[in-house]
Chains A and B, each alone.
Chain A
Amino acid sequence: MSTEHEKIQAELAKYQASVEKAVARFPERPHLPEQRLYTPLDVKDTDYADEISFPGVYPYTRGVQPTMYRGRFWTMRMYAGFSTAEESNKRYRMLIENGATGLSCAFDLPTQIGYDSDDPISEGEVGKVGVAIDSLADMEVLFDKIDLGKVSTSMTINAPASVLLAMYIAVAEKQGVPADQLRGTIQNDILKEYAARGTYIFPPRPSMRLITNIFEYCSKNVPKWNTISISGYHIREAGSTAAQEIAFTIADGIAYCEAAIKAGLHIDDFAGRLSFFWNAHNNVLEEVAKFRASRRIWAKVMKERFHAEKDKSMKLRFHTQTAGSMLTAQQPNNNIVRVALQTAAAVMGGTQSLHTNSRDEALALPTQESVTIALRTQQIVAYESGLADVIDPLAGSYYVEAMTNKLEAEAWDYIKKIDDMGGAVAAIEKGYIQKEIQDSAYKWQMDVESGARVIVGVNKFQMENEEPPKDLLKVDEAVGKRQVAKLHEMKAKRDNAAVEAALKDLKAACEDENENLMPHILAAVKTYATLGEICNVMRSVFGEYEAHVNL
């Protein structure tokens, strides 16, 4: 210990002694984090050059670009989509006119699970949480009058990601935009579907094959496309802690890299197109530390474990969404404040793009007015708050640096444990990751119910006789019927012989493990084969995943 540290140590001891006396008379609030305050002693072992370094420099703790928001702000990308392709198209064009710089498509649940709108299982769900896409025809409407050469589009689609990406490529082709000009992201992260989000279709092995097929196809044909968004968001929403969010997500990322390498790809050929998706939760400083820790861990994973050589492969680029599960149905206007704080965390944590939730999230899909407030929140943080003016402004805070180290250490412990189990796929099949998340979720709920954790308006500061909010967005119940009618009309018009031939060809390709499925899927969507038809072909060969529940 240096003499300076010794001096601080002595002063700290004095301070703690005096505080203990005061605390005996005026107790501190219960349930606070273990340390009262942080000092240089908490970060004395952190080597600046090795562990913190500079923006755009390994291990990227301070950010992946050298200038961050001093050049341009993050992409303000609002997740939207509901009802029919026509309705969603209108909302997208409104967002673009209002200054949104990227699109983010929400699909309804039948689409996310690979069922057509007329499947009996889709009853009641068509157009509810996103837009219904049955075939290329719907996709053409969805992006009508939107230049796919200019906009970057993020699609929240996982199990059938290959099919929706193929449709997007086909629409662009019709607009005259070549595939190598397309920019955007597909979520394409099946492992967190098994662990947390629930919209899986196929078992792990064929799912991993589809993902590596996409990596390979895009590296050659759609080079600007982010082929996966490895998502901690839903893991956190399902109830995990910050450390678990990092650890389980990075473990998933490791599994994807291993699968791709096993399929014969070189790490530097695809790693640069991997992106991440984090949650911005309520605890601002912990969240900033989480973003910083995750960048550092990923850089180390890529360099030390996979021996990546390109800088781009080592940079953890990420999208962020504010935590939907933290918004309350009670006193919904309070949610605007929560979202503002979460936005601050994401910005100080160096996000590349951000979706801000709307105040009515815990009640229904957001109205246009709520969406506008959420977008304005980002703009206020960007232009007025000053938070975006200096790069990684919290670096050097004893607390934030110590917290960054702590989250990193906790995450490594989990990653090691998962490695010992045989990786993320094995850990999910054993139900380990699900169980860890559930335990955290249950603990959170019990803390709220005991009052150990205060949620304003929910377990403290409640209002009697709160007026139920009005003007919630209602999805027209007739949407389902209209969509089904449209689907049947389309099926009557298309060349059914061509569809059948394409599906037959796809089936054969599915049965040959060495075949890349993307060209076959692309050929099928161009014949207007439906999403359900294509997924059913794959179901017939691959089977379906059976959930592991271990309560």
Chain B
Amino acid sequence: MDIAEELLKGNRLALSRAITAIENEYDEATEIMKKLYPRTGHAFVLGVTGPPGAGKSTLTDKLAREYRNQGKTVGIIAVDPTSPFTGGAILGDRIRMNGLTLDEGVFIRSMGTRGSLGGLSHKTADAVKAMDAFGKDVIFVETVGVGQSEVDIVKAADTTMVVLIPGMGDDIQAIKAGILEIGDVFCVNKADHDGADKLVREINMMLDLDVHEPAPMNDAQKALADQFHHMAVGPQAEMAMPGYWRPPIDKVIANQNVGVKELIASIEKHHAYISANGELQARRTKRTKDEMLDILSSNIGKYITGKIVDTGRLDAYVEKIKAHETDPYTVVGDIMQEMLR
């Protein structure tokens, strides 16, 4: 079958095969991506990150159900770690979402990190695009959740949600340095457990330390700030302070479906906020730029490596360097001269 064409027609198996082609870097992957690319850009991409055991998958399951109730279609990409020793992985997030499997408006795909260290796999972004082109309205990207290195999610997602739970003790201090600063929305899950309010206070404190003075606003920004000020209610009113986004903190009990609607409201508010003030476009522009540079450097790298390694020239260079006849800097300079003329 023509995978891209079938995918665009709504064939789920084609979507599945496309992601495999992307993940395994099959030759046809580039052609598929070329055909899909014009149809991307419509989905809202929500990053879900937080430490292991925070309930990310359960929360994703509940949020997805809520989006389905609103009539939106959902894609979910759940990333789990690949063992660096065996290359194997147990991808177990799906087990929390078994209830969604038979909903045709939901597509769940598990991915192993396969050597990537930033909490996602190298191919997650392209898998998101495949789901986007397929027509998913909302795409969840659930990270590995190992702690401090969860930074890739910011590049891949429009809105990033950080999920934390009470009772992690000093862990919160360690996490602070890493994932706390990437959250657009915070979620304190298992809020019926002891220490939930304390955790909320702690996050609040850390966020407040992090607040920088708002830059002076022009008229358009002022109008926008007013608009969001009206939307904000209750204890979260301060988050609509003019000029910057104060991440809200929502308490939920995911496995009892408590607080999920409110959490979606916060997520949607952030989505609306960045859409209106141009930040969404800015994030996506940055993403496009990064992606292009990635593809470019990866292709150039592969091209040059092919020319140097496969022809045996690398070994020859190494011998010369060992003999102090030349040095790595000169060699690379020469290669660049030759290849990229």
Q: Can you list, as one digit per residue, whether each of B69-99 has a CB less than 8 Å from chain A (1) or not (0)?
A: 0000000000000000000001010011000
The reply to whether the CB of A547 lies closer than 8 angstroms to some CB of chain B is yes
Interface string of A516-551 (1 = CB under 8 A from B): 000000000000000000000000000100110111
With an 8 A cutoff between CB atoms, is B143 at the interface? no
Q: Which residues of B contact A546 (CB under 8 A)?
A: 58, 96, 255
Contact A430 B255 (CB under 8 A): no
Interface flag for A40 (CB, 8 Å): no
Give the size of the chain B interface in residues (CB under 8 angstroms). 8
A549 touching B58 by the CB < 8 A rule? no
A549 to B95, CA, bound (A): 8
Question: Residues of A contacting B53 with CB < 8 Å?
Answer: 430-431
Q: Does B24 contact A (CB under 8 A)?
A: no
Residues of chain A lying within 8 A (CB to CB) of residue B90: 551
Contact B256 A543 (CB under 8 A): yes
Contacts of B256 on A, CB cut-off 8 Å? 203, 543
CA distance A303 to B255 in the complex (A): 37
Cβ of B191 to closest chain A Cβ, rounded Å: 14
Majority secondary structure, A binding face: loop
B-side contacts of A549, CB under 8 Å? 92, 95
When C-beta atoms are compared, the residue in chain A nearest to B99 turns out to be A546
Q: Bound state CA distance, A551 and B92, in angstroms?
A: 8
Q: Which of B46-73 contact A (CB under 8 A)?
A: 53, 58
Task: Please give the distance in Å from A351's CB to the nearest CB on chain B.
Answer: 37
A342 → B minimal CB distance (Å)? 33
Q: Which residues on B sit within 8 Å (CB–CB) of A203?
A: 255-256
CB distance from B53 to the nearest CB of A (A): 7
Give Cα A440 to B223, complex, Å.
Answer: 63
Among residues 385 to 401 in chain A, which have CB atoms less than 8 Å away from a CB atom of chain B? none
**Closest residue of A by beta carbon distance from B90:** A551
CA distance A550 to B52 in the complex (A): 10
- Among B254-297, those with CB < 8 Å from A are 255-256
Instruction: Chain B residues near A547: list those with CB within 8 A.
Output: 95
From A546, A547, A549, A551, name the one whose CB has the most chain B CB atoms within 10 angstroms: A546
Docked pose: A98 CA to B255 CA in angstroms: 50
Complex CA gap A203/B253 in Å reads 13
Considering the chains assembled together, what is the distance between the CA atoms of A430 and B51 in angstroms?
13
By a CB distance below 8 angstroms, the chain B residues around A430 are 53
> How long is the Cα–Cα vector from A547 to B256 in the complex, in angstroms?
14
* Residues of chain A contacted by B255 (CB below 8 angstroms): 203, 546
B95 partner residues in chain A, CB cutoff 8 A: 547, 549
Q: Which residues of B contact A543 (CB under 8 A)?
A: 256
Contacts of B92 in A (CB 8 A): 549-551
Contact with B along A412-441 (1 / 0, CB 8 A): 000000000000000000110000000000
Which B residue's beta carbon lies closest to that of A431? B53
Interface bits B198-212 vs A (CB < 8 Å: 1, else 0):
000000000000000
User: Residues of B contacting A550 with CB < 8 Å?
Assistant: 92
CA distance A211 to B177 in the complex (A): 45
User: Which residues of the partner chain B approach A431 to less than 8 Å between Cβ atoms?
Assistant: 53
Name the CB-closest residue of B to A550: B92
- Smallest beta-carbon distance A410→chain B, Å: 26
Kindly supply a per-residue 1/0 record for chain B positions 26-54, scoring 1 wherever the CB is within 8 Å of any chain A CB and 0 otherwise. 00000000000000000000000000010
Give A543 to B62 CA distance when docked, in angstroms.
14
Q: Write the nearest CB–CB distance from B9 to chain A, whole angstroms.
A: 31
A335 to B53, CA, bound (A): 42
A431 to B54, CA, bound (A): 12
In angstroms, Cα B96 to Cα A142, docked, is: 38
Q: In the assembly, what is the distance between CA of A539 and CA of B79, in Å?
A: 32
With both beta carbons as reference points, the residue of chain B lying nearest to A203 in the complex is identified as B255
CB B255 to nearest CB in A, in angstroms, measures 6
Chain B nearest CB from A7 CB (Å) reads: 52
* Cα distance A547–B58 in the bound complex, in angstroms: 11
* Complex Cα spacing A549 to B53, Å: 11
Q: How distant is the Cα of A58 from the Cα of B256 in the complex, in angstroms?
A: 44
The CA-CA distance from A551 to B90 in the complex, in Å, is 7
Q: Nearest CB to that of B91 among chain A residues?
A: A551
B60 to chain A, nearest CB (A): 13
Nearest CB of B to A437, in Å: 16
Interchain nearest-CB distance for A528 vs B (Å): 31
CB distance from B273 to the nearest CB of A (A): 33
Complexed CA–CA distance, A546 and B62 (Å): 12
Inter-chain CA distance A505–B33, complex, in Å, is: 59
A547 to B61, CA, bound (A): 14
State the Cβ distance, A294 to closest chain B Cβ, in Å. Answer: 31
Residue on B nearest A546 in the bound complex, by CB: B255
Bound CA span A546–B65, Å: 16
In the assembled complex, the Cα of A424 lies from the Cα of B197 at a distance in Å of: 24
Q: Considering the chains assembled together, what is the distance between the CA atoms of A531 and B315 in angstroms? A: 75
B-contact 0/1 string along A189-216, CB 8 Å cutoff: 0000000000000010000000000000
B59 to chain A, nearest CB (A): 12
Nearest Cβ on chain B to A544's Cβ, whole angstroms: 10
Residue of B nearest to A421 (CB): B167
CA–CA, A546 and B256, complex, Å: 10
Q: Which residue of B lies closest to A543 (CB)?
A: B256
B78 vs chain A, min Cβ distance (A): 14
- Closest Cβ of chain B to A447, distance in Å, is 19
Chain A residue at minimal CB-CB distance from B57: A546
| Chain A minimum-CB-distance residue to B53 | A430
Task: Tell me which residues from 431 to 463 in chain A have a Cβ below 8 Å from any Cβ of chain B.
Answer: 431
Interface residues of A in 181-240 (CB under 8 A from B): 203
A198 to chain B, nearest CB (A): 13
B58, B90, B92, B255 interface centre (most CB from chain A within 10 Å): B255
**What 0/1 pattern do residues 90 to 114 of B give for CB contact below 8 A with A?**
1010011000000000000000000
Contacts of A551 in B (CB 8 A): 90, 92
**A430 CA to B165 CA, complexed, in Å:** 12
Interchain CA distance A431-B255 in the complex, whole Å: 15
Chain A residue nearest in CB terms to B61 = A546
CA distance A166 to B92 in the complex (A): 39
CB distance from A367 to the nearest CB of B (A): 36
User: Hey, what's the 0/1 contact readout for A14-50 against B, CB within 8 Å counting as 1?
Assistant: 0000000000000000000000000000000000000
Give the residues from 228 to 257 in chain B that come closer than 8 angstroms, CB to CB, to chain A. Answer: 255-256
**8 A Cβ contacts from B165-181 to A:** none
Give Cα distance in the complex from A551 to B52, angstroms.
Answer: 13
Chain A hits for B58, CB < 8 A:
546
Nearest A residue to B52 via CB reads A550
Chain B nearest CB from A23 CB (Å) reads 36
Which residue of the partner chain A has the closest CB to B192?
A205
Distance between B61 CB and nearest chain A CB, rounded to angstroms: 9
Q: Within the assembled complex, what's the spacing in Å between the Cα atoms of A430 and B190?
A: 12
Chain A stretch 343-385: residues in CB contact (< 8 A) with chain B: none
Q: Once bound together, how far apart are the Cα atoms of A543 and B92, in whole Å?
A: 22
Give min CB distance, A422 to chain B, whole Å: 8
Closest to B190 in A: A429
B116 to chain A, nearest CB (A): 21
Give the distance in Å from the alpha carbon of A431 to the alpha carbon of B95 in the complex.
Answer: 14
A431 to chain B, nearest CB (A): 8
CA distance A186 to B179 in the complex (A): 49
Q: In chain A, what residue has the closest Cβ to B255?
A: A546
Binary B-proximity of A312-328 (CB < 8 A = 1, otherwise 0): 00000000000000000
Report the Cα distance A543→B255, complex, angstroms.
10
Min CB gap B289→A, angstroms: 39
**Residues in A244-296 with C-beta less than 8 Å from chain B:** none
How far is B95's CA from A33's CA once the two chains are assembled, in angstroms?
39
Could you write out 6 A-B pairs with CB less than 8 Å apart?
Answer: A430-B53, A431-B53, A543-B256, A549-B92, A549-B95, A551-B92
Q: Can you list the 3 inter-chain pairs with the closest CB atoms, starting with the nearest?
A: A551-B90, A549-B95, A549-B92
Chain B residues within CB distance 8 Å of chain A: 53, 58, 90, 92, 95-96, 255-256
Chain A contact residues, CB within 8 Å of chain B: 203, 430-431, 543, 546-547, 549-551
Apart from A546-B255, A549-B92, A551-B92, what are 7 other A-B pairs with CB-CB below 8 Å?
Answer: A430-B53, A431-B53, A546-B58, A546-B96, A547-B95, A550-B92, A551-B90
